[in-house]
Chains A and B, each alone.
Chain A
Amino acid sequence: MTSGTQDTQTSAERQALQAAAFDRIGERYDEAFPHKEGQLAAGGWLINRLAPGARVLDVGCGTGLPTARQLADAGLKVTGIDISDGMLQLARRDVPDATFRQIDVRRLPAMGITEAGYEAVVAFFSLLMLTREEIPPTLRKLHALLAPGGYFLLSMVEADVDDMPLRFLGNRVWVSGYLRDELRQVVADAGFEVLDVRHLSYAPASTTVPPELQLFVYARRGES
């Protein structure tokens, strides 16, 4: 589990490497993961619960597909953040109705992204790039960004790993994950009210990425 490089790299260096990896991956990400039923279902669930014009923060929006586009098309005011400038350029091109900014989720809140400023926060397959140490404080920050009663949607890959190096579409990335019961607990511990945890078997369209079990956490911030 532990490797030499891991101990000597700082978290910032790691993050820069991850960002560079996703710059290189770019559009291939959507080619490798063409079916996004679970993510679209979660987006649809959110759209049904929000009024047009509601503010949504898309954490780790990537190329803006499918979520930023789905939410923007439904009349929501979407802000997408990501560490990869390459991905964001694709997002600005493909989803002109949303706003995109290059911000590391761990640096939140940031200028213009303020506490209690969102009716919903979504983080689809992005927090799995953090370490297990970083995930709980990040979840608490996202909780704080939500207006009272706001919704939080989180998707992760079900796995019992922490900061595991992984070859992903020819690039090295580091991922963390939880098993379903643990994930529910981690989200609840960050202050959220967990409404549901759904799971979905998923086969990426690439033999270089293993099939995975996706977990979708449906949660909200209490009214207080």
Chain B
Amino acid sequence: MPTRNDGWTKATDIGEHLGYLHGATARIGGGLELDQVVRALCDTTVPEIADLAAVYLYESVLVDGELPEAPDPGDLVVRQAAVAGGEGWGAAGLTAKVTASELTGPFAAAMARGRPAVWHGDHDGRPGLRSDVDCVLTRPWPGSVLVVPLRLDRLVLGFGVLLRAADRGAFTEAGDAQDVDVVTATLMADQAALGIHKAILYQREAQIADELQRSMLPKRPPRLPGIDIAHRYLPGNPTAQVGGDWFDAIPLAGSRVALVVGDVMGHGVRSAAAMGQLRIAARTLATLDPPPDQVLRQLDQLFNDMAEQLDEHYLATCIYCVYDPVARRCAIANAGHVPPVFIYPDGRTELIQLPTGAPVGVGGVAFQTFEMAAPDGALLAMCTDGLVESPDRDLNDGLAILLDSVQNAAKTHLDPAAGAAPVDAAPLEDLCEQVLRDLHIDGRVDDVALLVARFGGIPSEHVANWILRAHPQTPFRARRLVAATLSGWGLTGQIPTMELLVTELVTNAIRYATRPIAVRLLRTETSLLCEVTDDDHNPPVLCEPTTKGENGRGVYLVSRLARRWGTSLTPTGKSVWCEVALP
């Protein structure tokens, strides 16, 4: 039980004093956050050493976590960072902030010399002192005052003010006599300065990890036909140094999309960096369009290769889901990740408990792809364990809360009647917010990633697909089919451009194809997509047309006529697609 006494100046029990000092420095040095450190300094000095204690720090240290560049940064503002005690004295009018250059007396001396300073309230008649003290103690203090600098090597980060009431023994000027309390307070201030430095460095690393993490995550979901996507990322508690969650939505051939959520196990900057590599690897693999289990298999291999090269072994859990808005199906594979949540249009919920493979990086583990129906209006929510799991909530309880939350949020924010496309993104954003609120993750330790997709589908009548033999008549036949289809869709204005585009794509395709090619036409609210698939793996090359030869002109023409165009590899060849905007 801490007691207010005259300090240890007269104490004979050295053991008791050392015990106090040990407890105080452990508490001051134990904090990883700046606030904790300065608060600990105040709390441990009151009431044992002082009746009122406050800590002041340079604003740059307190707010920005920057150390002062020079030992004497006179024009900087010094701000109160913590205060303790002083009940009944109204905190003695301790100022909230003061400019360093205004300090001239004992405060200035303590900071300039890096040594404690002591005086006795109103009884101290030294000239020049009053103004200095006025700046910090805006009301006269009828007791004893001790100022201890917070030193870090040659730098001073701020100071501590310790006040004793008039009815208690005064502090003695350091150096004059062996005032044990002054020496003790100086030691504790030194400890606090080290603690502040540690907190700044720690905070900086957490900040770097957080910035790195954020810089590598998508800022906004892509706008794609037949699906509506929203996502959230929340960093973990900086002192816990966790990170490495990621999510992605990757457009694939045939207006499909790959949805990815993953979590690299590990801490801070390193797991964030590993996440960045894994995310880009997953994106690159996705464009090659293997089945989901193969994507996970390749990522597993990649992590094992990285382990050999970097002498560091990473593990990551990951869900990879490909949604096909035409077939209205999902193909999902899971590498040891939290199961996704599925909400059917009638409100029924299901936890997609796939036989989960081991995490990516374990090596040599088989993954499996599962297919499931994804009816229009259904929701898929994929998250990381930070959302559902916490020190006082196990995974299953968390998942149960998540299921309820998404179900209720879907009722509140989504109109069940508006099943088919076009879907509006705003309600899905609201849904994400509500889910984050419902899961009570404010005091979380781990970081949190959440991706929610709402399936809208592309109506069959907005898709036309043909398989055509490769022969000299093919471009002509494809042209005729496209014209007939567009006219059936009431898009006669697009016929000339699309005829030209399909002619170029088909002409390119049949040049190398050994099997029949596939031509697909797909319309959305805003665009018209034409896709030609053949069994040749070499993607077309875009080059500026020259006066010599006619090679490469087709692709050049496509690149000029289409709003966007691209190539995706397929398991048996490639797809070249182009898109024109609809008025």
Contact = CB atoms under 8 A, between A and B. Distances in A.
Given A159-B516, A206-B327, A211 B468 contact: no
Contacts of A157: 467
Interface in A142-185: 157-162, 164, 177, 179-180
B516 A206 contact: no
Given A203-B328, A210-B465, A211-B326, A160 B516 contact: yes
B575 to A, nearest CB: 11
B406 interface: no
Interface in B503-517: 514-516
B481 interface: yes
Contacts of B331: 207
A177 B327 contact: no
Contacts of B371: 206-207
Nearest to B322: A207
B516 A203 contact: no
Given A1-B514, A205-B373, A162 B469 contact: yes
A160 B480 CA distance: 13
Interface string B316-331: 0000001010111101
A204 interface: yes
Contacts of A161: 467-469, 516
B315 to A, nearest CB: 29
A157 B484 CA distance: 16
Interface in A188-214: 200-207, 209-213
A205 B466 contact: no
Contacts of A207: 322, 324, 327, 329, 331, 371
Given A213-B464, A213-B465, A179 B327 contact: no
Interface in A111-160: 157-160
Nearest to B469: A160
B533 to A, nearest CB: 9
A164 B460 contact: no
Contacts of B462: 201
Nearest to A166: B467
Contacts of B373: 205
Contacts of B327: 203-207, 209, 211
B329 A159 contact: no
Contacts of B514: 1
B469 A203 contact: no
B518 interface: yes
Nearest to A182: B477
A202 B463 CA distance: 8
A210 B461 contact: no
Interface in B443-471: 460-470
Nearest to B515: A1
Question: Could you say which interface size class chain B belongs to?
Answer: 20 to 34
Interface residues of A, number: 24
Given A160-B469, A179-B481, A205 B464 contact: no
A164 B516 CA distance: 8
B46 to A, nearest CB: 69
A203 B468 contact: no
B254 to A, nearest CB: 8
Residue with the greatest number of chain A CB neighbours at <10 A, chosen from B463, B467, B474: B467
A206 B331 CA distance: 10
Interface in B303-347: 322, 324, 326-329, 331
B66 to A, nearest CB: 54
Interface in B161-193: none
B516 A1 contact: yes
Contacts of A205: 327-329, 373
Given A1-B515, A160-B516, A206-B329, A201 B467 contact: no
B402 to A, nearest CB: 27
Given A159-B467, A161-B468, A211-B326, A203 B460 contact: yes
A209 B465 CA distance: 12
B466 A213 contact: yes
Interface string B267-301: 00000000000000000000000000000000000
A204 B327 CA distance: 6
A160 B518 CA distance: 10
Residue with the greatest number of chain A CB neighbours at <10 A, chosen from B462, B481, B520: B481
Given A1-B516, A207-B329, A160 B466 contact: yes
B464 A159 contact: no
Given A203-B327, A203-B328, A211-B460, A1 B469 contact: yes
A27 to B, nearest CB: 16
Contacts of B474: 160
Contacts of B470: 1
Contacts of A209: 327
A213 B485 CA distance: 11
A158 B326 contact: no
A202 B518 CA distance: 15
Contact of A201 (B324, B461, B477): B461
Contacts of A202: 460
Contacts of A200: 460-461
A196 to B, nearest CB: 15
Interface in B426-458: none
Contacts of A159: 466-468, 516
A202 B462 CA distance: 10
Interface in B475-522: 477, 480-481, 484, 514-516, 518, 520
| 8 closest A-B pairs by CB | A159-B467, A160-B468, A201-B460, A211-B465, A203-B460, A161-B516, A203-B326, A160-B469
Given A160-B516, A161-B469, 11 more contacts: A160-B477, A179-B477, A179-B480, A200-B461, A201-B461, A206-B327, A206-B329, A207-B329, A210-B518, A211-B327, A213-B466
8 contacts: A1-B515, A1-B516, A159-B516, A161-B467, A161-B516, A201-B460, A202-B460, A207-B322
